[in-house]
Amino acid sequence: MFRFEHEWGISRPRDAGPRVVGRIIALGPNTKGLAVGQRVGVGWFSGSDMHCHQCLSGNHHPLPQGQATIIGHRGGFASRVRTHWAWPSPLPEKLNFAEAGPLLCGGITVFNPLAMHAKPTDRVGIIGIGGLGHMAVKFAAAYGSM
């Protein structure tokens, strides 16, 4: 028998799947830049207040009022996910869904600082070639920073 401890009050045994990929099945009336049937992905956040400094500047990583895709929701294990129109990332038709998922979590974790702080002519150092490091090496090499 499995006994689950719930000390912090936010955990649930099924909270998993922070990366979601799929096709849009419905849109709200104020949606911009998306279409029904379009391939998209959603990472850790699926919503936010859309008026704080981080939201308005496009720097969503230190988001104080973000709605997580998985905490309190079924995330990638749900049959449908509802998100604010600003959060889904359009995916190319030829990109395999299985390959897109990691790019929405670990991929953006290493890509964002590279894009923000390095130029293609810069040399960068990557410490550790694990789950994130191997993506950082690929991004840096493609960017011309290695």
Q: pLDDT tens per residue, the chain (146 residues)?
A: 444 455 566 655 544 567 888 899 999 999 999 999 999 998 878 888 888 888 788 776 667 778 777 777 777 777 888 888 888 999 999 999 888 888 888 888 888 888 889 988 899 999 988 888 999 999 999 988 76
Q: Which pLDDT score, from 0 to 100, does residue 137 have?
A: 92
Domains of the chain: 1-93 (3.90.180.10), 96-146 (no CATH)
Which residues are within 8 A (CB) of 9 and not within 5 positions of it... i.e. 6 or more apart? Answer: none
Instruction: Report the C-alpha gap between 20 and 85 in whole angstroms.
Output: 14
Q: To which residue do tokens 């190319």 refer?
A: 92
The predicted structure's pLDDT at residue 1: 41
Question: Residue 68 has what pLDDT?
Answer: 77
pLDDT the model gives residue 61: 64
| E-strand stretches of 11-108 | 20-23, 39-42, 45-47, 67-68, 89-90
Task: Quote the pLDDT of residue 136.
Answer: 92
> Which of 72, 90, 97 has its CA nearest to residue 21?
97
Quote the pTM value: 0.73
Burial of 126 (0-12, 13-18, 19+ CB in 10 A): middle
